Amino acid sequence: MRAFMAIELNSKLVDKIIEIQKTLAEANALVKFVEPENLHFTFKFLGDITPE
């Protein structure tokens, strides 16, 4: 399982990120966008760990 420590973003910040994603999409940027419900700020990636 891939694990990380993260915090959720407030709705105002999520809205701004969605605006930026739309701008990048219109510019045909080669970017994989995350769905708004999955947006978060990762502050520590733990990597692959076992459930134990």
Residue 52 confidence (pLDDT): 80
pLDDT for res 10? 94
Res 4: pLDDT: 92
d(CA 40, CA 5): 10
Rounded Cα distance, 2 and 47, in Å? 5
pLDDT of residue 51: 83
Q: For the chain, where are the E strands, in sequence order?
A: 2-8, 40-48
Give pLDDT < 70 ranges for the chain: none
CA distances from 51 to 5, 12, 48 (A): 15, 34, 10
